Amino acid sequence: MGTGIKRQIYGYNDVVMMVKVKFEEGAIGVLHQHHHAQVTYVESGVFETTIDDCTKTLVKGDGFYAPPHKTHGVVCRAPGVLIDVFSPHRADFL
Give residue limits of the domains in the chain.
5-93
Q: Is the pLDDT confidence value at 1 over 80?
A: no
Nearest to 38 by CA among 72, 87, 71: 87
Could you confirm whether domain 5-93 is CATH 3.40.50.300?
no
Instruction: Please give the angle made by the CA atoms of 23, 25 and 26, to the nearest 5 degrees.
Output: 100
Whole-prediction pTM value?
0.94
Count of alpha carbons within 13 angstroms of residue 75, beta-carbon side: 7
pLDDT in tens, 23-56: 999 999 999 999 999 999 999 999 999 999 999 9
Percent with pLDDT over 70 in the chain:
100
Q: What is the mean pLDDT of residues 69-90?
A: 98
Instruction: Please give the angle made by the CA atoms of 62, 12 and 67, to the nearest 5 degrees.
Output: 45
Res 22: pLDDT: 98
Element (H, E) at 91: none
Confidence of residue 58 (pLDDT cuts 50, 70, 90): very high
